[in-house]
Amino acid sequence: MPSFEAIITVLIAGFMISASPGPSMMYVLSRSVGQSRAAGFASSVGLAIGGVLLAIGSALGLAVIFEYSSGLYRAISFAGAAYLFYLGYDMISNAGKEKLEISRVKSEKFSKIMYQGILVELLNPKTILFFLAFLPQFVDYSRADVTTQMMILGILVPLTAIPSDVFVSVVGGTLTNKLSRHSSCGIVLTWIGGLILIALALRIVYISVQV
């Protein structure tokens, strides 16, 4: 089992990042505003399932790499740190530049919407890279259950997005109007998410040096 500190850190970081305006939020908003609240909820469930599947696959892959090649694992960690830093910088530099525009979408069955949400996550290379970059820093490598730690922490990340996605699906229309009228709210959330990613990148470098 991961340490209590690692679990709390992942929960907080994951929630703050998921609460920042991004592709997943836009996907849920488009279904919520363009079709119905239930459709938005179905899309958020699909995204979560896809995220869990990716988290498990990423954790298993990282565990195998760590077991057979600590040097390669460290290289992946540094590459992951660079990627997280880039994501954080990109979020901050583009904060407020994109307008929140949601249009009505074609109505679909909830089962199909959920399936589409799963595919959106599974086929998103950025999500895969994020897990590869995010997981290593929270694992205690002095313990034997490295794979278990990675799987638990990895699964927590998409689960932290559920509260914000459900909130978005329920108050989608209101949220869209608020963010459109008060763009500073979206900018603040984006800055917070970006700074968290940059902080995580620096933490990865520090931990990788110590391993």
Under DSSP, is residue 77 helix (H, G, I), strand (E, B) or coil?
helix
HEC string for 146-157: HHHHHHHHHHHH
Longest CA–CA span in the chain (Å) reads 53
Across 6-15, 66-75, 81-90, 147-156, least confident range: 66-75
* Alpha-carbon gap, residue 101 to 204, rounded angstroms: 35
How far is the C-alpha of 161 from the C-alpha of 166, rounded, in Å?
Answer: 9
Averaged pLDDT for residues 144-173: 81
d(CA 131, CA 61): 11
63 closest CA partner among 117, 144, 124: 144
Q: What is the pLDDT of residues 24-61, one digit of tens each?
A: 777 787 777 777 778 888 888 998 898 889 888 888 88
Instruction: State the residue range of the domain holding 186.
Output: 4-210
Q: What is the pLDDT of residue 181?
A: 58
Task: Quote the pLDDT of residue 180.
Answer: 54
Question: What is residue 99's predicted lDDT score, i.e. its pLDDT?
Answer: 54
Q: Which helix (H) or strand (E) holds 133?
A: helix 125-134
Q: How many domains does the chain have?
A: 1
pLDDT band per the 50, 70, 90 thresholds, residue 186 = low
The predicted structure's pLDDT at residue 183: 58
Where does residue 96 fall: left (phi above 0), alpha (psi -120 to 50 degrees), or beta otherwise?
left
Q: What is the pLDDT of residues 102-143, one digit of tens each?
A: 555 667 788 888 888 888 788 776 677 777 777 777 777 777
Between vectors from CA 180 to CA 176 and to CA 181, what angle results, nearest 5°? 120
Residue 65, token pair as written in the block: 């790499």
Supply 85's token pair.
């830093």
Structure tokens that stand for 162 in this block: 């559920």
> Residue for token digits 């849920």?
28
